Amino acid sequence: MTDPTESGEQSARHVWSAGRYPAMAPNMLPAIARLINVAGIDPGNRVLDVGCGTGNAALTARRAGAAVVGLDLAHDMLDLARENASLAGYDDITWLAGDAETLPVPDDAFDVVLSNFGHVFAPDSTRAGAELRRVTKPGGRVCFTAWSPTGVVGDLTEVLTDHVADSPSDPWSHLEWGDPDFVREQFAGAADCSFQRRLLEFRYATPHHFWREFAEESGPLSPVLRRMDDDDARAALRRDAVAALEDWFGDNAVRVEYLQVRAVVE
């Protein structure tokens, strides 16, 4: 069982080091391709990938000719990112361990700051947003993705809150970044802020398989589920979650809605 007193940083590191997350990462590749395209990365741009995970966004930016720094809380993820970069023949990507709330890089250091479902899990949203702006050059772009509160992740979070009364952190907090009004508040000084609603298709044979990998073995809900000692309670949660997933399932895929954001920093 996870210690209920663990810090926000420890909790975030546990989430993305846990279970089968690397097996899930390829599901994110279409979102990463779209994010790199909307960022308008040019050869020679300096790019920071916040919450880089296994390195897929950093590698895609590097393929576009950027000078890339990938940052993540989880050392296991950084090790995988280094391996993936080596496989691709890139030995010039810098990999840093760090927190989205206190980015270990100078002010105005990057032309583009990316976060593919990464910084949204920082416990202090306002600090994380301020850090993204701080490290971006004037005229640079902050581009990120966030799960939508009106999509399947929101539905699963609602099911979770019905079954878990004592979650150590707010399970809805990361979904704030999927609300354009919240993003506008965080980037009130941006010269331009644009949004696109997008869908990802997570390919699984049944909703049960998606639930196992997204919630029980990896992903943002797994630490909460690991705190549930009652097998009957876990089974009831699984039953209601799979029922909610049926609404989003078809053609061997769960349709997952997310928000894509591009903000130009003044």
30: Cα separation from own chain's centroid = 14
Cβ contacts of residue 127 below 8 Å, gap of 6+? 101, 102
Cβ contacts of residue 235 below 8 Å, gap of 6+? none
Mean per-residue pLDDT, 80-90: 97
Mean per-residue pLDDT, 1-11: 41
- Per the CB < 8 A criterion, the answer to whether 47 and 66 are in contact is yes
Cα–Cα distance measured from residue 113 to residue 134, given in angstroms and rounded to the nearest whole number: 10
CATH number (3.40.50.300, 3.40.50.150, 3.40.50.12780, 3.30.565.10) of 8-148+170-202+257-264 reads 3.40.50.150
Q: Name which of 15, 145, 157 is nearest 72 in CA terms.
A: 15
Q: Could you read off the pLDDT of 182-236 as tens digits, one per residue? A: 999 999 988 899 999 999 999 999 999 998 887 777 666 676 777 787 889 889 9
Question: DSSP string spanning 109-165?
Answer: -EEEEEEES-GGG-S-HHHHHHHHHHTEEEEEEEEEEEE-TTSHHHHHHHHHHHH-S
Rg of the chain over CA atoms, in angstroms? 18
Partners of residue 257 on adjacent β-strands: 199
Given pLDDT bands bounded at 50, 70 and 90, which one contains residue 103?
A: very high
- Which residue's entry shows tokens 């399932």? 249
**What pLDDT does residue 36 have?**
97
Mean per-residue pLDDT, 90-95: 98
pTM of the model: 0.89
The SS3 assignment for 100 reads coil
Residue 103 CB: number of other CB atoms within 10 A?
Answer: 24
Q: Is the pLDDT of residue 11 over 80?
A: no
Q: Is the pLDDT of residue 89 over 80?
A: yes
**What pLDDT does residue 172 have?**
84
Q: Name which of 120, 149, 171 is nearest 256 in CA terms.
A: 149
Q: What share of the chain is helix, strand, coil (3-state, %, to 5)?
A: 45, 25, 30
Given pLDDT bands bounded at 50, 70 and 90, which one contains residue 90?
A: very high
